[in-house]
Structure formats: C-alpha cells, structure tokens
C-alpha cells in the first residue's frame, strides 16, 4: 500500500501522482507491445514509455 511506502500524510498526494503516472506509462507500453504483437521484449516498451515521459517532463 502507498501508506507503507510513504507513511507521512504530507507525502501521500505526491506518491499517488507518481503511481498514477507510472501506471499510465505501463499501460501505454502494454498497448504498444500488443499492437506490435510482442515483437520485442516487454521491458523495451516499458523503458521507451518512461523515456518518453522523462523527455516530456524535461520540456515542461
């Protein structure tokens, strides 16, 4: 549970946002992996999704 990762109430919202964004990146990776019929290891798609997220956040 999130409260075990970060038991401080003040950290609850930031941790939840990180989890939400991470789940979204995993979902996008899974969608792309399925579209390409698993042509590459799933980990490659996950790395790409997080790299894309990192690039977008760097521009913000």
Rounded average pLDDT per 10-residue block, the chain, 60 residues: 67 85 97 97 98 93
Which pLDDT belongs to residue 37? 97
CA-to-CA distance for 41 and 37, rounded, in angstroms?
A: 10
Question: How long, in residues, is the chain?
Answer: 60
Which pLDDT belongs to residue 13? 84
What's the pTM value of the predicted model, to 2 decimals?
0.78
CA-to-CA distance for 47 and 45, rounded, in angstroms?
A: 5
Which pLDDT belongs to residue 22? 95
Which pLDDT belongs to residue 55? 96
Among candidates 49, 22, 20, which has minimal Cα distance to 33? 49
């Amino acid at each position: 549970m999130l409260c075990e990762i970060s038991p401080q109430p003040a950290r609850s919202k930031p941790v939840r946002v990180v989890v939400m964004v991470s789940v979204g990146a995993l979902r996008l990776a899974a969608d792309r992996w399925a579209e390409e019929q698993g042509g590459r290891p799933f980990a490659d798609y996950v790395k790409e999704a997080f790299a894309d997220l990192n690039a977008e956040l760097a521009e913000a």
